[in-house]
Amino acid sequence: MNQPKNPSRYLLFSVLLIAVDQLSKLLVYKYMEPGFSGQILLIGNWLKLHYVLNPGMAFGMQLGHEYGKLFLTLFRLLAMCAIGWYLIHLARSGASKGLLWALSMILAGAVGNVIDSTFYGVFLDNAPYGSPTPWFHGQVIDMIFVDFWEGFIPEWVPLWGGQYYSTPIFNIADSCIFLGVCSILIFQGHFYNLDEETHHTTTKNDSENLDVTLEPHLPLDTVPTIPTEETPKNELELTNNFVNSDIPKDADSRESDPSQEIDLRKEENKNESL
């Protein structure tokens, strides 16, 4: 049976990831130039640090509406609160550790990007030109560039044919969300089956304990003894005497002993013969 867990360790793990995400973004903002001019190669030509500003969702996706950014930020705030509540609820319910660690990563990613969207437009002055307000319109700083392929998509591809495409650039918060979601999708059978088995075992044990508690118990002195071939005569007499010892008898209801009557009749017959 899984015991309830303290959600503090999982929330602290989320705080640690948020701190790493924000520190990396602020270092990129301070020490790197945006675009290809400030690009830093890490591993060959396929893993790079590439500073870009993302006005939309994860991996550079955007909402094409004047207030799309505001709606996105408000949605992130609601999602952040919902994920945090769900994480605490699952921890107190004794959910599997793997599921809780995965939700901690998703929570950290959501909070990290909410901080960018809410405050960077004000404190880093990176809100897009023409934004109604710098609040809730900050652009997310992305810097991790896994450059597997870039170029023009063939014309025969629906929707995106003929467009230039490169591998998305993302940040640590995006990575936390991606890894957390993938972990739940891959191991969901283990995470949720474990919880269902725990719940089933707990319910079964509670039911058995309830049956034992409700089973009637009769006092030993009220159970009559049924004679059998294997029951010794002395034991049967002792048991019946023990059972009947506490039963009151009125003086009027007492009956004479049949053995005494037989003895009296024998004596009378003997006297008559004499």
- Predicted local distance difference test score (pLDDT) of residue 59: 45
Q: How far apart are CA 80 and CA 150, in angstroms?
A: 33
Query: Is the pTM for the entire model greater than 0.75?
Result: no
pLDDT > 90? residue 16: yes
**How far apart, in Å, are the Cα atoms of 270 and each of 72, 163, 264?**
121, 135, 10
Widest pairwise Cα distance in the chain:
147
Q: What is the DSSP letter of 148?
A: S
**Residue 58, domain member (yes or no):** yes
- Predicted local distance difference test score (pLDDT) of residue 132: 84
**Residue 139, domain member (yes or no):** yes
Residue 174 bears catalytic tag: yes
pLDDT per residue as tens digits for the range 124-156? 999 988 888 899 889 999 999 999 888 888 888
**Residue 263, domain member (yes or no):** no
**Residue 268, domain member (yes or no):** no
- Predicted local distance difference test score (pLDDT) of residue 243: 47
pLDDT > 90? residue 95: yes
Find the mean pLDDT for residues 191-207. Answer: 57
**Residue 76, domain member (yes or no):** yes
Structural contact between residues 81 and 105, judged by C-beta atoms closer than 8 angstroms: no
pLDDT per residue as tens digits for the range 155-193? 888 877 888 888 889 999 999 999 999 999 999 888 877
pLDDT per residue as tens digits for the range 66-84? 566 778 788 889 999 999 9
Residue 142 bears catalytic tag: yes
Q: How many residues does the chain have?
A: 274
What's the structural domain count of the chain? 1
The beta-strand segments (E) located in the chain are 40-43, 47-54, 140-146, 150-152, 164-166, 169-170
- Predicted local distance difference test score (pLDDT) of residue 150: 80
The letter for the amino acid at 145 is F
Question: For residue 22, is it left (φ>0), alpha (ψ between -120 and 50) or beta?
Answer: alpha
**Residue 149, domain member (yes or no):** yes
Q: Which of 125, 142, 250, 252 is catalytic?
A: 142
Q: How far apart are CA 106 and CA 102, in angstroms?
A: 6
**Residue 162's domain spans which residues?**
8-201
Q: Which of 125, 147, 174, 206 is catalytic?
A: 174
**Residue 81, domain member (yes or no):** yes
Compute the C-alpha angle 21/22/23, nearest 5°. 95
Q: What percent of the chain has pLDDT over 70?
A: 65
- Predicted local distance difference test score (pLDDT) of residue 164: 82
**Residue 218, domain member (yes or no):** no
257 pLDDT band, cuts 50/70/90, is: low
